[in-house]
C-alpha cells in the first residue's frame, strides 16, 4: 500500500461528466479508457494554467477509485520524495505539477524509481505539467528519457463560445440552470480563465441558495457589486 499519509481529497466537481472536451476529445477518451482499465502506457498532459489539467487527473482518480492515487507536487514539495514510496502498488499514479520536482535531485531520483517500479508492476503514470517532457527542465537524463516515452497531449484552452458551454455544464452538474445570457454576462464581467469563472459560479451557487433566487443577470449583477463594487 502507499506510504502517503497526507489527506488529499478530490474536488467533488472534478469528474469527466463536468469537463467540456471540445478540442480535447482524444485526450479525454484516452484518460477515461485508462481509468476504466484499458491497457496503455499512461500519458503526459501539458498546457497553460487553468486549462483543466488538475480536473482531468482527479477525474481519472474518481473513475478508477482505489486503483488510482492523485499527488499534487506543489502541495507535497515540502514533504519530500518519500511520499512516492509504495505507490507502485496502484494501477494508476496521477502526478500534478510535476515541474515542481524538476531540478531537485532527490525528487527526480524518486520519480525515476517510481517510473521503473510501475513498469515492473504493470502500473501506469499519468503526468500533468506546464510543458512537454523535454521542456520540463529535468536534470536526470534517464528520467527525461523515460518521461518522453509517455504519449504526450496538449490540453487545449477553450474559446469564448466553449467557455459559455463549460460554465453551463458545470452549473448543470451542480443542479443549477445557467441561461445563455447570464453565462455570457459572467464572462464579460469577470476574469476569463476557467478557474476564476468556476470559482465565481461556486460563489453564485451559494448566494442563490441563500436567497432562493435563480441565476438571472440582475441577481448576478447584485452579487458582483457586493464582491467587487462594480
Residue-wise pLDDT for 50-88, tens only, equals: 899 999 999 999 999 999 999 999 999 889 999 999 999
What is residue 195's predicted lDDT score, i.e. its pLDDT? 81
pLDDT digits (tens, 9 = 90+) for 127-142: 999 999 999 999 999 9
172 and 108, same domain (yes or no)? no
Q: How far is CA 67 from the centre of its chain?
A: 18
Residue of 173, 209, 175, 158 lying closest to 12 (CA atoms) = 173
128 and 198, same domain (yes or no)? no
- Grid cell, residue 199, equals 470559482
Out of 133, 154, 175, pick the residue that ends a domain. 154
Kindly tell me if the per-residue pLDDT of 220 is higher than 70.
yes
Q: Report the C-alpha gap between 230 and 228 in whole angstroms.
A: 5
Q: Which residue has the cell 528520467?
A: 143
Q: Report the C-alpha gap between 114 and 160 in whole angstroms.
A: 39
Kindly tell me if the per-residue pLDDT of 177 is higher than 80.
yes
What is residue 3's predicted lDDT score, i.e. its pLDDT? 39
For 122, half-sphere exposure in the C-beta direction (CA atoms, 13 angstrom radius) is 4
What is the rounded average pLDDT of the residues 78-99? 95
Q: Report the C-alpha gap between 24 and 72 in whole angstroms.
A: 22
- Return the SS3 of 92: strand
What's the angle, vertex CA 165, arms to CA 164 and CA 171, rounded to 5? 90
**Given pLDDT bands bounded at 50, 70 and 90, which one contains residue 198?**
confident
Mean pLDDT, the chain, whole residue set: 90
**Given pLDDT bands bounded at 50, 70 and 90, which one contains residue 12?**
low
**Is 10 part of any domain?**
no
28 and 112, same domain (yes or no)? yes
Q: Which residues contact residue 69 at a Cβ distance below 8 angstroms, ignoring those fewer than 6 apart?
A: 2, 4, 61, 87, 90, 92, 93, 94
**Is 57 part of any domain?**
yes
What is residue 6's predicted lDDT score, i.e. its pLDDT? 45
190 and 130, same domain (yes or no)? no
Out of 94, 127, 154, pick the residue that ends a domain. 154
137 and 173, same domain (yes or no)? no
What is residue 127's predicted lDDT score, i.e. its pLDDT? 98
Q: Which residues contact residue 25 at a Cβ distance below 8 angstroms, ignoring those fewer than 6 apart?
A: none
Kindly tell me if the per-residue pLDDT of 117 is higher than 80.
yes
**Given pLDDT bands bounded at 50, 70 and 90, which one contains residue 5?**
very low
**Is 9 part of any domain?**
no
What is residue 54's predicted lDDT score, i.e. its pLDDT? 94
Q: Which residue has the cell 512516492?
A: 84
191 and 130, same domain (yes or no)? no
What is residue 10's predicted lDDT score, i.e. its pLDDT? 67
What is residue 226's predicted lDDT score, i.e. its pLDDT? 78
Contacts 24+ apart (CB under 8 A), 213-218: 214/177, 215/171, 215/176, 215/177, 215/178, 215/179, 215/182, 216/179, 216/182, 217/181, 217/182, 217/185
63 and 176, same domain (yes or no)? no
Least confident of 152-161, 162-171, 183-192, 198-207: 183-192
139 and 171, same domain (yes or no)? no
Q: What CATH number does residue 192 fall under?
A: 1.10.8.60
21 and 125, same domain (yes or no)? yes
148 and 66, same domain (yes or no)? yes
143 and 167, same domain (yes or no)? no
Kindly tell me if the per-residue pLDDT of 41 is higher than 90.
no
Distance separating the N- and C-terminal Cα atoms of the chain? 52
- Grid cell, residue 194, equals 476557467
Q: What CATH number does residue 90 fall under?
A: 3.40.50.300
Out of 92, 122, 154, pick the residue that ends a domain. 154
Kindly tell me if the per-residue pLDDT of 191 is higher than 80.
no
> Residue 107 sits in which domain range?
16-154
Q: How many structural domains compose the chain?
A: 2
For 147, half-sphere exposure in the C-beta direction (CA atoms, 13 angstrom radius) is 32
Amino acid at each position: 500500500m502507499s506510504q502517503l499519509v497526507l489527506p488529499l481529497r478530490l474536488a467533488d466537481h472534478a469528474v469527466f461528466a463536468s469537463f467540456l472536451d471540445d478540442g480535447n476529445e482524444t485526450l479525454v477518451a484516452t484518460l477515461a479508457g485508462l481509468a476504466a482499465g484499458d491497457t496503455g502506457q499512461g500519458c503526459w498532459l501539458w498546457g497553460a494554467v487553468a486549462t483543466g489539467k488538475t480536473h482531468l487527473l482527479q477525474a481519472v482518480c474518481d473513475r478508477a477509485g482505489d486503483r488510482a492515487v492523485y499527488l499534487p507536487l506543489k502541495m507535497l514539495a515540502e514533504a519530500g520524495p518519500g511520499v512516492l514510496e509504495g505507490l507502485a502498488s496502484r494501477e494508476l499514479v496521477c502526478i500534478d505539477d510535476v515541474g515542481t520536482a524538476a531540478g531537485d535531485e532527490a525528487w527526480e531520483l524518486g520519480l525515476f524509481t517510481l517510473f521503473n517500479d510501475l513498469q515492473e508492476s504493470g502500473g501506469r503514470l499519468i503526468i500533468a505539467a506546464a510543458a512537454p517532457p523535454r521542456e520540463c527542465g529535468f536534470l536526470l537524463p534517464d528520467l527525461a528519457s523515460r518521461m518522453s516515452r509517455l504519449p504526450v497531449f496538449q490540453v487545449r484552452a477553450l474559446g469564448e463560445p466553449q467557455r459559455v458551454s463549460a460554465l453551463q455544464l458545470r452549473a448543470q452538474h451542480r443542479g443549477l440552470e445557467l441561461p445563455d445570457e447570464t453565462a455570457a454576462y459572467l464572462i464579460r464581467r469577470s476574469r476569463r480563465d476557467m478557474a476564476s469563472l468556476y470559482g465565481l459560479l461556486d460563489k453564485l451557487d451559494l448566494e442563490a441558495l441563500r436567497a432562493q433566487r435563480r441565476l438571472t443577470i440582475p441577481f448576478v449583477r447584485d452579487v458582483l457589486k457586493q464582491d467587487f463594487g462594480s
